[in-house]
């Protein structure tokens, strides 16, 4: 009798755990290749410039990037715009939400033109999340039981998550408290307020003639948002490579020194 009760309890616990795990299984996110993947990867300057264009023409209507300084658009390793281009871009960039951006108003309360020393404005009009560190905050590759095993191979997967979100719409909609939400297989909960038409084929025309289908636009803006979240990634990779190289040399020298010092002692035979 006791054995039967124990087996029943174990079966119940196993079923509950299995059900909980099934509900927490992450959606399948494709490992979209990017130029900055891997220890020796680098940002593609032209892709970052295209991603900046997608963000400016599409995403900035709802999303801000208040932690990113506009002057960094001219940095080497980033979009690397010329100084006059950065200045012109700052002056033309709209402040969509003046209520939450009083620092961009002059003494009379009117909106002033931005300068390269300003940050990208915040945008709280639609309640959309800020995109400054979105690509770094979102993880796509967890591995079994969310232990982060796959992250050792694929990285955290923030850009892949962004691409998957933009590609994950099913076309279904429903009303929630008077608001239309859109079904998305990737977004947690399965429903998102961002419209499924926010990005579409041919929505942005690139000056370099690069493909402007929806997937290409999504990849470009995801790469730009990765740079916005990790603008010093290349410097960190170089520093890490130099550190590993130095440690390898130091370890080799210590090994050879140890052998030389202890060689006479190891060569003696005990009676």
Number of H helices, E strands in the chain: 8, 3
Confidence of residue 239 (pLDDT cuts 50, 70, 90): very high
Confidence of residue 121 (pLDDT cuts 50, 70, 90): very high
Residue 53 has pLDDT above 70, yes or no: yes
Which of 229, 231, 232 is closest to 240 using CA atoms? 232
Domains of the chain, start order: 23-168+196-256 (1.10.760.10)
pLDDT digits (tens, 9 = 90+) for 179-231: 999 999 999 999 999 999 999 999 999 999 999 999 999 999 999 999 999 99
- What is the rounded distance in angstroms from the CA atom of residue 34 to the CA atom of residue 48? 11
- What global pTM score does this model have? 0.84
pLDDT digits (tens, 9 = 90+) for 16-28: 444 443 345 567 8
Taking the CA atoms of 231, 138, 124 and 47 in sequence, report the sign of the dihedral they define: positive
């Amino acid at each position: 009798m006791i054995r039967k009760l124990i087996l029943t309890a174990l079966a119940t616990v196993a079923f509950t755990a299995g059900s909980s795990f099934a509900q927490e299984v992450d959606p399948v996110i494709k490992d979209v290749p990017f130029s900055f993947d891997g220890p020796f990867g680098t940002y593609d300057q032209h892709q970052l410039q295209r991603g900046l264009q997608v963000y400016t023409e599409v995403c900035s209507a709802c999303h801000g990037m208040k932690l990113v300084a506009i002057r960094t658009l001219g940095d080497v390793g980033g979009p690397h715009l010329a100084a006059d281009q950065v200045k012109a871009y700052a002056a033309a960039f709209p402040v969509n939400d003046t209520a939450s951006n009083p620092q961009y108003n002059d003494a009379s309360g009117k909106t002033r033109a931005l300068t390269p020393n300003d940050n990208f404005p915040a945008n709280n009009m639609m309640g959309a999340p800020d995109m400054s560190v979105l690509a770094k905050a979102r993880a796509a590759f967890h591995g079994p039981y969310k232990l982060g095993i796959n992250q050792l191979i694929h990285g955290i997967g923030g850009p892949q998550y962004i691409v998957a979100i933009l590609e994950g719409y099913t076309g279904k909609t429903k009303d929630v408290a008077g608001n239309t939400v859109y079904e998305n297989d990737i977004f947690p909960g399965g429903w998102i307020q961002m419209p499924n038409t926010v990005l579409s084929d041919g929505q942005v025309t690139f000056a370099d003639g690069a493909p402007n289908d929806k997937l290409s636009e999504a990849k470009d803006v995801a790469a730009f948002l990765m740079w916005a979240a990790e603008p010093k990634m290349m410097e960190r990779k170089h520093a890490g490579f130099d550190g590993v190289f130095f440690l390898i040399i130091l370890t080799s020298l210590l090994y050879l020194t140890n052998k030389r010092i202890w060689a006479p002692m190891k060569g003696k035979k005990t009676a």
